[in-house]
Amino acid sequence: MALRFSKMHGSGNDFAVIDSRGGALALSPATIRAMADRHTGIGFDQLLSVEPARDRASAFYYGIWNADGSPSGQCGNGVRCVAAWLHRAGALALDDTVQIQSPSGPVAVRVIDAHRVTVDMGVPIFEPARIPFEAPHAAKHYVVDADGQPLEIGAVSMGNPHAVMVVEDLSAPALARLGPALTGHPRFPEGVNTGFVQKLSTRHVRLRVHERGSGWTLACGTGACAAMAVLRQRGEVDASVQVDLPGGSLQIDWNGPGERLWMTGPAAFVFEAEWLDPQAGD
């Protein structure tokens, strides 16, 4: 069976985007893992499907699967690529704000030009039970034991759970251990995306993210939103912040608790091809 896809990336966070506007995509986790393999498959951090809307308020729905075949609730870089894909397909006009539906709820998108998209990422969620994160009450700082040591983190949901840890050096060797240790920490019952953030100024930070189901990625849109939200909640950054990731930069704008957070960044097409696999219809 031939499954046509578009290879795309947002700041180096890469995807296979599949046109499923004729009906929901049904692939087994094993098939997704085979497609994600960077040696014998397509190679990607997440698989995205563009599907018919599931409510009348949205124009489209998009599904998200991690490289290990597990489903994901939200993907900031991915939704920008979905919007750019829809624009190239003639389904979204430039400068029109349109609502599309993710597994974790609706988001509004606006295609600024063929390669740049702004996304309304919603209101950051700090309540532990809704992240989910095991804690008696919401706080700006938490201490968790990981890799044999106490670590101070912030916790927030941007449609998926995030732990944010401020560090002085993103190249510190210890991060290679701490990323996986926090991502699988038992106080996050659904796992967590772990972001290590280095403050350069109140308007500029650097970030590395270890994602649940995908590992270290060149960029994580929801991770950039989460890092900014945690720091902004603490009063450590301004309302507009540039977040530099290994694959590129994102602009995050958020006025503070209770307000909606906006993310602006690139979306790029790499190539079009077909996946030929007998299991593609599982």
Residue numbers annotated as active site: 75, 220
How buried is 8 (Cβ within 10 angstroms: 0-12 exposed, 13-18 middle, 19+ buried)?
Answer: buried
Q: Which residues pair with 146 in a beta bridge?
A: 149
Q: Which of 91, 20, 22, 12 is nearest to 46 (CA)?
A: 12
Peptide bond into 186 cis (omega under 30): no
Report, in angstroms and rounded to the nearest whole number, the Rg of the chain calculated over CA atoms.
18
Structure tokens at 83: 């919007």
User: How many angstroms separate the CA atoms of 181 and 183, rounded?
Assistant: 6
Q: Which of 274, 269, 267, 281 is nearest to 5 (CA)?
A: 274
The residue behind tokens 């201490």 is 143
Q: What angle do CA 262, 211, 70 make, to 5 degrees?
A: 105
User: How many angstroms separate the CA atoms of 44 and 185, rounded?
Assistant: 25
User: How many angstroms separate the CA atoms of 67 and 45, rounded?
Assistant: 5
Q: Which residues are annotated as a binding site?
A: 13, 46, 66, 76-77, 160, 193, 211-212, 221-222
Q: Which residues are annotated as a binding site for substrate?
A: 13, 46, 66, 76-77, 160, 193, 211-212, 221-222
